[in-house]
A and B are shown apart, each in its own frame.
Chain A
């Protein structure tokens, strides 16, 4: 089954404790992206990757890191999480960034930083 998976689905952590949210897709997609979703603000892009070893900042990259060492995986790293990073995070993948190719979203990771 074609899908995007994220782990963990729920995470409660404390300020400053490094964490990684994993994202994996099995559709051989070139493009992967991370979004955060907050009430009233919609989906805001954090980072995206056009291909292996190619990443770029989205609208709200501060406090986040990413890497793309393999085509299928695109982990999101919070080196020193803060309460303002409490949010719902979605990973997405696509054959291409946009154009005529739809994005497939993972199930989401709800992160709470206390």
Chain B
């Protein structure tokens, strides 16, 4: 499986945008980029995914580099509830299992 690299931790102020980076230099053409997050004491939850084009949904935006070797998850206005561990995961095609790394722990300051 292609590997992803994320910073261990990041901090943000409440109501400010947050950009969470992910490097995936060995990504293959059929790998989708998925983001999940895990709130404290909960199971992970899906955030967003993309292949080549930038994507937006109600939770976040995903910006994908033109060469697809990196991507950035964008939370437009961080809230305290967004404090979580964010995982960037590559999934091939329709995929099956998720291969989690250690993710980025996001702290949100009030």
Q: Do A and B come from one complex?
A: no
Chain A residues at the B interface, C-beta cutoff of 8 Å: none
